[in-house]
Structure formats: C-alpha cells, structure tokens
Chain A
Amino acid sequence: MSSPSDAEVIGRSMGDPEAFGLIYDRHAVALLRFLGRRAGAKIAEGLVGELFRIAFERRKTFDGSRASALPWLYGIGSNLLLKHRRGEARRLRASARMAADGERADRRAGAAALDARLLFPRVANAIEALPDDEREALLLFAWEELPYQSVAEALDLPIDTVRSRLNRARARLRELLEPKGKGRVRSQ
C-alpha cells in the first residue's frame, strides 16, 4: 500500500486535525536544517514548531493540486526568517570567515582573482544587501537546491518571476567578480 501524498494528508486533516502530525514527521528535519543554515541552531530550534503551527492553521490555503507540501513549508519558513534578519546576517558573516579560512588553507586558492579573505566577506555582504525577494529566491535555489518550480511554489510567484529574480541576484553578485570590480556592494 502506498503512503498518502502530503495533499491527501492535509485534506484529511481538515476533518481530523491530528492527521497533520504526519506532515511534521515527514518534513520537520528538512525545515529545521533550512532554518538552521539561515539563522543558526538556536533560532531554528525556536522556529520549527512555530512554522508547523502556522502551516497547520493555514492548511486550508494549501493548494491540493501539489503533491508535496515541502515548497509551501519553505515559503512559511522564509516569511518567519524575515524577523530574524540580524541573526541571519551574523551567521552569514561567520560563514564567510570560515570559508575564507578554508580556502586559504587550500593552496589552490592562490590563483583566484580575488583573495579568498576578501572574496567571501564580499559575497556575504552582497547576499546580505540583496532585496529580500531576490535573496530569498537565491538562497532557496542555491542552498536548499530547490528547482525553479519549487521556489515559485514557496514564494507563491509565477516561475518567470522567480527566473528574473534569480537573474537579477546573479547579476548583482557577478559585479563582485569583475576583474576591475570595485568590490563595493550596492545597497538598496
């Protein structure tokens, strides 16, 4: 017997709310890791229950034509993270320092156009300076490895809009890598 799809489970939870527990069992690990990558373990641990509580309360808005609830849950998580931008920024800077150290230990980095010590903090700053909607699309795509369609479902946007946001985000990041790149990040 095949297990019911998320859409079927959520449909059943309308009359039998406790059925929604299965959605947690299926996806909580992925969402906890997602929140952790973005905002660190402490914030993520506090948010994961909240995320699923909100999902449960909004389960009527879940589009039953989508088999998996995962992109929808990512979308709720993305919204929750907006309140934790400072924690995210701190974590991003720390990750940049660690990445820079890692690259320096790795001698191959010597040939890189920009010293890793400079490069990664710039990447972090650039990600940080992206408008919320572009940063969200970029990180769901690059870190969570969601396909465009899932990013679109998570952010509740047409797929073409996701594509153009990702292109804009790429272009902004690319400015950093130009040979004579001024290394300055436009903040807006």
Chain B
Amino acid sequence: MKPVDLARKLRREAAFKPAALDRGKETLMAAIQQEVEPRRPTVIPQLPYADIRAALSFLERAFGFREIRATRLEGADGVVHHALVEFGDSVIGIGTQGAHGAVSPQRGGIESQYLSVAVADVAAHYQRARAAGARIAREPRGHGAEAHAYEAFDPEGHRWRFVHQRLREVPQERTRA
C-alpha cells in the first residue's frame, strides 16, 4: 500500500454537536460588530515612524492611545507597515517613514507639525507620559489655559500637545459665522 493511502486509512470524521456551527458564527459576528461600530472619521492624520512597533508601544504606554488591532497591515516577515490608533473619538494612522513622502522627525531633523489632543486629566496624563519616558517639551505651567496643557516628544520626535478637554483649540463658542 502506498504511504499516502496508508495515511488516508487514519482519516476519521468527528461527531459534532448540532449547534457547533452557530457558536462559531456568533464568535465571528461579534468580531465583525466590533469593527462596524468604530466611527469612520472623515480626516485621519498620518504620522510616519521608522519603527512602527516601538511607536505603537510608546503611544499606548505613554499617551494612552489604543491600537485598532484589526486594521494593522503586517508583511509576511512580521514588519508592520501601517496601523491605526484611537483616542477618544479620533483616529490616527501610524505609517512607515518615507512612505507617501512623509518623513519622521528622527530622519528629517525637524517636526513639521504637532498634534493637539484633548484629555480629561492633564496632570495625570503628564505623569503617565513622564513615567513612560516621554521627553517633555513644555511643562504644564503658566497662566490661564497654558497651566492646563503640556507638550511632549515621542521617541521619534513627533511633538504632541495635551490640553484639558474644556480648552480645546477650537471651542464652539469662538467659532463665528
């Protein structure tokens, strides 16, 4: 008897409970539902990083972002090419240094923009960021609103501003027709 035919002799069907397929589908639909519910933002800023894995880890630890894991683009070699992180009701893309003409400050030597993020507790956020090793660019001191905001660099030099959510940069009352 040929080897493959011998192996075939050991093939045996399993006996399933009738509901086996229903439970599997519930698992899938729950995962789908998770992805359906997140908002679909109109504008997504894209930040380039030389080391996306390190960036994701830092943004989660230091700044409290959360990766939307299902959307991660990963090569067969395990290299992450792109990921999305969320914070509050916003989403930011974490992309590859050099892709789409975007340059990490680590490479370019200068940051060309900063991101302003509204948080509920600036002091607690500041402590968390410092504890995770964030380099502070501006302390949460000064007069008025500036006492309730601070700025920090991530490991590749992107600059982030964290401001109390009541003091968002575009308050409703200040927008005029």
Contacts and interface: CB of A to CB of B under 8 A. Distances in A.
A118 to B, nearest CB: 13
A142 B8 contact: yes
Interface string A33-60: 1001100110011001111110011001
B23 A49 contact: yes
Nearest to A35: B14
B64 to A, nearest CB: 23
Contacts of B132: none
B43 interface: no
Contacts of A148: none
Which of under 10, 10 to 19, 20 to 34, or 35 or more describes the interface residues of A? 35 or more
A156 B23 CA distance: 29
A143 B5 CA distance: 10
A17 B71 CA distance: 12
A62 interface: no
A123 B29 contact: no
B10 A127 contact: yes
A181 to B, nearest CB: 12
Query: Do most interface residues of chain B lie in helix, strand or loop, or is the interface mixed?
Result: helix
Contacts of A33: 13-14
Contacts of A7: none
A173 interface: yes
A170 B7 CA distance: 10
Contact of A41 (B3, B7, B14): B14
Contacts of B39: none
Given A156-B76, A174-B3, A50 B27 contact: yes
A82 interface: no
A70 B42 CA distance: 35
Contacts of B69: 57
A28 B27 CA distance: 12
A38 to B, nearest CB: 9
A37 B20 CA distance: 15
A52 B25 CA distance: 8
Contacts of A50: 27
B10 A41 contact: no
Interface stretch (B30-38, B47-55, B117-125): B30-38
A45 B24 CA distance: 7
Nearest to B23: A49
B170 interface: no
Interface string A73-98: 00000000000000000011001101
Given A18-B29, A127-B7, A142-B7, 9 more contacts: A29-B21, A33-B13, A33-B14, A37-B12, A41-B14, A41-B16, A49-B28, A50-B27, A95-B11
20 contacts: A17-B32, A20-B32, A21-B29, A28-B21, A28-B24, A33-B14, A36-B14, A36-B16, A44-B16, A45-B16, A49-B24, A49-B27, A51-B24, A53-B28, A99-B9, A123-B9, A127-B7, A170-B2, A173-B3, A177-B3
